[in-house]
Amino acid sequence: GAVVSQHPSRVICKSGTSVKIECRSLDFQATTMFWYRQFPKQSLMLMATSNEGSKATYEQGVEKDKFLINHASLTLSTLTVTSAHPEDSSFYICSARSGTTNQPQHFGDGTRLSIL
């Protein structure tokens, strides 16, 4: 089945640091990737949609200058949390789908980000 790899799985860093999270589709080409954030005991909240070779589309209320998204190839998208603060601590999850009709999204295992 389709596999999406997300790295790192856990990050602990100091306030003010920038953190990069990678999302890779291992066995298919992902024309579109999505980034979600999940706070404890809440559902997934979509942050942005990333299309290969073009600018990401951000959901309302998500700061594009703080959450930088790059989708440089059909198998890799990155999310950089710039100048992270404790309130950015969360579980970040990516998903990917191929351009083929009727194919579901497949999710990575998430990145637990803790800002001290």
Partner 1 sequence: DAKTTQPPSMDCAEGRAANLPCNHSTISGNEYVYWYRQIHSQGPQYIIHGLKNNETNEMASLIITEDRKSSTLILPHATLRDTAVYYCIAHPTNTGNQFYFGTGTSLTVIP
| Shortest reach from residue 13's CB to partner 1, in Å | 19
Burial 37-59 (b: 16+ CB within 10 A, else e): beeeeeeeeebbebebeeebebe
Per CB under 8 A, 24 contacts partner 1: no
Residue 104's identity, in one-letter code, is P
| Shortest reach from residue 16's CB to partner 1, in Å | 26
Please name every residue paired with 57 in a beta bridge, in sequence order, or none if there are none: 49
Which of the ranges 13-21, 70-78, 79-87, 95-103 carries the binding residues for partner 1, by CB under 8 A? 95-103
Which residue number, 14 or 100, has a Cβ lying nearer to partner 1? 100
